[in-house]
Structure 1
Amino acid sequence: MFRQIQGNARTCVLAEPLFVVPASLYTTYASVYMLHLHVTDTQIGLITTLNLLLQIISAFISGHLTDRLGRRKALWVFDLLSWSLGALLWAVAQNFWWFVIAAMFNSMQRIPTTAWYCLLVEDTPAEKRRHVFTGLQIVSVLGGLFAPIGGVLVAHFTLVPAVRIMYVFFCISATIMIYVRHRGMHETEIGLRKMKETGKANFGEDFKHYLTTLKQIFRNRTLLLLFFVYVLWNFQVTISNTFVPVYQVEFLHIPAVMISLFPAISSAAIVVMLLTVVPRFREEQAKTLMNIGFLFLIAANVLLIVIPAQNFALVVVSTVLAAVGTIISNPYLESVVANAIDDEHRSTMLSVLNVLILVFASPAGIIGGWTYSIDAHIPIGLIIAAFVVSIVFVRLAKRRSDLEMRMETTAHLDA
């Protein structure tokens, strides 16, 4: 499969472990780390929401900056600010306000995300993009296998010092990745042309272009439905990443040193799926496979709600179900959305998509924190609801795309 990935996409995939491996160490402990620094559940939700609200601004200008600076430069500069500097601030944080400042820098991440996505797919043929996203999923899986090292560090140093070490390691490793990746990539043809075009343009004209793009999205019902599925995916990811580890520690009474095992278990399950089942999937089954994956994820979260406290085995089962659902649904969701976007307007479309994601996902943090303080089960119920609605939207998108295909075939035969 990796032989199918060439150019910038290959560089992105090969450099990704330098980001994913250290990130897998601290991700599980990020919210618990804040709790140990006397940040409340509600404040954790507030920090998450603030970060996402500020990301709306960076998402809105990401298309303009990506076109104006070029994909490589935008990725280089804003990755350093959002991830390297953000991680350093997390590492030395003392209280709520330190996390607020870190959130402000980390919120710039939408600019390099747009640039990275353009570099990833613009020079990659549409039929090979699934291989790219599956490759990234494999890297993510392998990174998850290192997560138990975080638990070893916590057991040895206690939680706060251990997480500080993880953040410093991430800062160093991510900075190396940013440099290596920058050296190994070239500007895309579309990127070079956009740099020349935006050099003569102004932000007012770009704003009009954003409005035109937004109208195009709303006119394309299939694309709009898929965009909303993508929005719901990000909504549930925000709640899941922020509050599921807290739920496992506080409500299910799983020891903090043990929760780092769950990403490794998830990764092992995904490896088995990649070696046995995933190679049999076909691109034309994408929308059906997405819904099957969503059903697995619903089952995983329902099980998480009904699990009695201290039942480690059933948490493992829930983790495996979630891993299976993710590897089935996520690569196809990414691929379907990527192929639905026109290359010529990709940076602007991605910018608009990111704004839509953040407008709807930004309340997720504060909603999750508020509902968790009322009942720890409610945030997980919201995750389940997001997948139920996603299944409906995917079915509607499939029906619409099938209808459009039949109409095109009929028109071609009539001609």
Structure 2
Amino acid sequence: MNTVQKIKTLKKHPLIELLKNNKGNPKTLILMEPLWGIPYNLIAPFATLYMYTQGITDVQIGLILSVSMFVQVLFSFMGGVITDKLGRKVTTMMGDFFGWSVACLIWAISNNFWLFLIAVLLNSFEQINQTAWFCLLIEDADSKDLLGIYTWVNIGGLVAIFFAPISGLLINSFSVVPVVRVLYLVFCVNMLIKVIITFRHCDETRQGKIRMTETKDTSILQMVYEYKDLIPKVLKDKEIMKVLIVSVILHITNLINTNFFSLYVTQRLGIEDRYLAFFPILNAAVMLIFMVGIQHRLEFVKFRIPMWIGLVLYAACSILLIVTPIGSMPFIIIYVFVVAVASALVMPRKDTLLQLTINPKERARINALIMAFTIAFASPFGYFAGWLSSIDRRLPFVFTFIIFIVAIIIVGRIRDPEFAKEHN
């Protein structure tokens, strides 16, 4: 196949067709995602070091993270109310402006505990933005396009990971503080551009307009009070609760892997620190190949089956990591490879399944509740995993294996989206 034929084939790829044919909010938001993803991935590996280098102690860093977690739960809870009251578009713009642009500006000039705390508190506003952003992304989209849309969102984040080594090269040439300050300023400008593009090229959704009209004469406090009726409905909806439990499990396992994988492979398995930057890039490359080359070929398969297979692979990976011999790099590479395939199978489907399960008329508030519940339920497990790791560095991954088994059982009992859609 020559180059011209390859280009023609690529143009006919279902994901490309989806992006080309969709002229609304999904296309705009997907194309803008690198404005956030690239600077975020450049900064993320060095954010804690940036604070520590400027004299912020371990205790102060822990305090900032704890306060941030508490405020995130509160803001997540409020996200649905504010999104319904102000609209999806305005709330998304506010979240990008205050939660990222202004927060990054403060991070760029931070040199003491209080400035870092203010930046983190402002960044917590992004939890409100998440609810509004997802509503803006999918509410006017065709339900059959949701898996493709969420696949594109994941691809946008994965592509950004390939830029991460740039910050390491810059820091090797200069030093942490000046490089990260400049990156935060770039992040600030990027998010300001994102706000402007959202204003000019995104439209309020149909459901957003309905909710703005319905809540026009209702106070924020009254809308919060209405949660007393909504929360029991969510808790009694078995399908929503199944997806919520799976979301919490995935959040916990991601928290453990993010914080303890590098510690495990370096301190127990004896892998050199310099290889750590290689693993996220390998993970992103495998996920991209899978999502672009294989994902669309699974459309004929029942929705929950690929998700179930992905969770089985996750569980197998936990065992693989536990039994990996000391110093065995091939085992670690196999682990990263299989985790990437599992993530490609599970993550877009989990998000799609959630949106097809909840009541579209209450999408903003139910999404906000689920986000708040997920963060609140998962937050204690960071400490728990740390305690397990202090006993034996393998124990956090024994724990992830156990809760992956729980997720496998739950997904086996979830109805496929078409039934969930009929239910709605």
* TM-score normalised by length of structure 1: 0.86
CA–CA distance in 2 between the matches of 1:344 and 1:236?
A: 31
1:24 paired to 2:41: yes
Aligned partner (choices 70, 75, 80) of residue 63 of structure 1? 80
User: 1:101: Cα distance to partner?
Assistant: 3.4
Change (3 A) 1:294 1:96: farther
CA–CA distance in 2 between the matches of 1:91 and 1:251?
A: 36
1:143 paired to 2:160: yes
In the other structure, the counterpart of 1:383 is 400
1:182 paired to 2:186: no
Q: Kindly provide the amino acid, as one letter, of the partner of residue 125 in structure 2.
A: M
In the other structure, the counterpart of 2:90 is 73
Residue 163 of structure 2 aligns to a residue whose secondary structure is: coil
> Unaligned 5+ residue runs, structure 2?
1-14
CA–CA distance in 2 between the matches of 1:102 and 1:252?
A: 37
In the other structure, the counterpart of 1:122 is 139
The equivalences for 1:144-293 within 5 A come to: 144-159=161-176, 161-248=178-265, 258-282=275-299, 285-293=302-310
Contact 1:71 1:191 in 2 (8 A): yes
> Unaligned 5+ residue runs, structure 1?
409-415
User: 1:210: Cα distance to partner?
Assistant: 1.7
CA–CA distance in 2 between the matches of 1:108 and 1:139?
A: 22
Change (3 A) 1:210 1:295: same
Change (3 A) 1:151 1:75: same
Percent identity of equivalent pairs: 28
Contact 1:231 1:361 in 2 (8 A): yes
Contact 1:293 1:329 in 2 (8 A): yes
In the other structure, the counterpart of 2:67 is 50
Could you tell which deviates more after superposition, 204-213 or 2-11?
204-213
In the other structure, the counterpart of 1:83 is 100
Write the deviation string for residues 325-363 of structure 1: whole angstroms up to 9, x where unpaired. Answer: 111111111111111122211111112111211220222
1:2 paired to 2:19: no
CA–CA distance in 2 between the matches of 1:44 and 1:287?
A: 40
Write the deviation string for residues 24-47 of structure 1: whole angstroms up to 9, x where unpaired. Answer: 223334455556567677765554
Change (3 A) 1:174 1:356: same
The equivalences for 1:96-115 within 5 A come to: 99-115=116-132
CA–CA distance in 2 between the matches of 1:377 and 1:271?
A: 29
Change (3 A) 1:46 1:245: farther
Contact 2:97 2:192 in 1 (8 A): yes
Give the superposed CA RMSD: 3.1
1:315 paired to 2:332: yes
Could you tell which deviates more after superposition, 305-314 or 222-231?
305-314
Aligned partner (choices 276, 279, 299) of residue 316 of structure 2? 299
Contact 2:89 2:198 in 1 (8 A): no
* TM-score normalised by length of structure 2: 0.84
CA–CA distance in 2 between the matches of 1:173 and 1:212?
A: 40
In the other structure, the counterpart of 2:28 is 11
Contact 1:151 1:258 in 2 (8 A): no
The equivalences for 1:390-405 within 5 A come to: 390-398=407-415
CA–CA distance in 2 between the matches of 1:301 and 1:312?
A: 16
CA–CA distance in 2 between the matches of 1:84 and 1:256?
A: 32
CA–CA distance in 2 between the matches of 1:265 and 1:314?
A: 14
Could you tell which deviates more after superposition, 150-159 or 349-358?
150-159
Change (3 A) 1:321 1:136: same
Contact 1:51 1:104 in 2 (8 A): yes
CA–CA distance in 1 between the matches of 2:362 and 2:201?
A: 25
Write the deviation string for residues 169-228 of structure 1: whole angstroms up to 9, x where unpaired. Answer: 333323322332332101112212222221211234323432222222222212211111
Residue 141 of structure 2 aligns to a residue whose secondary structure is: coil
User: 1:79: Cα distance to partner?
Assistant: 1.9
In the other structure, the counterpart of 1:411 is none
CA–CA distance in 1 between the matches of 2:67 and 2:116?
A: 10
Counting matched residue pairs gives 405
